[in-house]
Amino acid sequence: MKEIVLLDGGVGQEIYKRAGKPPHPMWASKVMMSRPEIVKEVHQDFIRAGSKVITVNSYTSTPTRLKRDGRLEWFEELQTQALTIAADAIKELGAEASDVQVAGCLPPLVASYTANDRSFAEIRQEYQQIVALQKPSVDLFLIETISNIKEARAAIEVALETGKPVFMSFTIADNQPDQIRSGESIKEALSAVEQYPVDALLFNCSFPETISEGLKALGHLNKPFGGYANGFTSVEPLKPGKTVDLLSARHDMHEEKYAEHALQWVNAGATIIGGCCEVGPSHIAYLHRQLQEQGYKIVPFK
């Protein structure tokens, strides 16, 4: 029986909706500070939907973003709170979540879809700050929505030092499915990270159709691979410091349609799948049922 690792969906976007779409670029962190129960409920709803890996709600809580959109002194508090909420979500569900894993989150440091123009050493140092706080409380690290090679390499090097499993996920340019969003080719990106013993390679936060194209470059690799797509019409309007109210959701990306795309990835050899922005617990639940009906076993990462 083929085994599939089912990730969660768009945690930040789900928090945004449930909190009434707060007009702040760090909405997920701000809601966590004022209404932490929302974050816990989102984690638990994804677990109930069938996710075996949940990612901590720290995507926007990087020092760089906090300097720009919040306060740097919030950094340790927000990271610690995100870890605590994820652990509490699992603990409260008891046996239902006994095999659920927590993924540490290593996001783009400046903003989604934005390259980092600082030196490699500076980028690496910032990831070290994040990893130092997350390491004791997570089962693996998910480096996600990375749009440039330099940031990917820095995050990988730091995460590998922990000895925990590391997933590396690039975001692909929707209008150029052979490129990551920096304009660097997927071939260049894979060549740059092949020297590192990461445990899985993924693509995320791009159109499902784009991820289907991108995964063709991973199928021949001798390691687990997969993807998790977003449900936006375009991410072009989103710039650093702006909020997702500038983006629109695709009306065609309902549960059945998303599962159709994800099952194509599985049929192409993907063993790690989930959802990104605009993919909620109902999408994951439907996908979970479809996988089971087709004879797949949903498991944590081994």
- CA gap 114, 107 in Å, rounded: 11
Question: What is the Cβ-side half-sphere exposure of residue 45, based on CA atoms within 13 angstroms?
Answer: 19
> 176-180 and 172-173 as β-strands: parallel, antiparallel, unpaired?
antiparallel
pLDDT digits 0-9 by tens, 31-79: 999 999 999 999 999 999 999 999 999 999 999 999 999 999 999 999 9
Question: Please, what sign has the CA dihedral across residues 144, 148, 149, 150?
Answer: negative
Say if residue 1's pLDDT is above 90: no
Edge-to-edge strand ranges of the sheet holding 53-55: 53-55, 101-106, 140-146, 166-170, 200-204, 225-229, 272-275, 3-6, 297-298
pLDDT for position 215 = 96
- pLDDT tens-place string over residues 129-175: 999 999 999 999 999 999 999 999 999 999 999 999 999 999 999 98
DSSP for residue 202: E
293 by Cβ neighbours in 10 Å (0-12 / 13-18 / 19+) ranks as exposed
The answer to whether 275 and 253 are in contact (CB under 8 A) is no
Which pLDDT score is estimated for 114? 85
State the chain's mean pLDDT as an integer: 93
Question: Do the Cβ atoms of 33 and 78 come closer than 8 Å?
Answer: yes
Lowest mean pLDDT among 62-66, 223-227, 246-250, 257-261: 246-250
Domain borders along the chain are 3-298
CA-wise closest residue to 189 among 144, 155, 150, 222 = 150
Phi-psi bin for 176: left (phi > 0), alpha (psi -120 to 50), beta?
Answer: beta
pLDDT at 237 > cutoff 50: no
Contact 41, 88 (CB under 8 A): no
Residue 184 has pLDDT above 90, yes or no: yes
pLDDT, residue 250, reads 81
Q: For residue 146, which of 60, 208, 205, 195 has the smallest C-alpha distance? A: 205
Amino acid code (one letter) for 143: I
Query: Residue 244: pLDDT band by 50, 70, 90 thresholds?
Result: low
CATH code that applies to domain 3-298 = 3.20.20.330
pLDDT, tens digit, 9 for 90 and up, residues 253-287 = 899 999 999 999 999 999 999 999 999 999 999 99
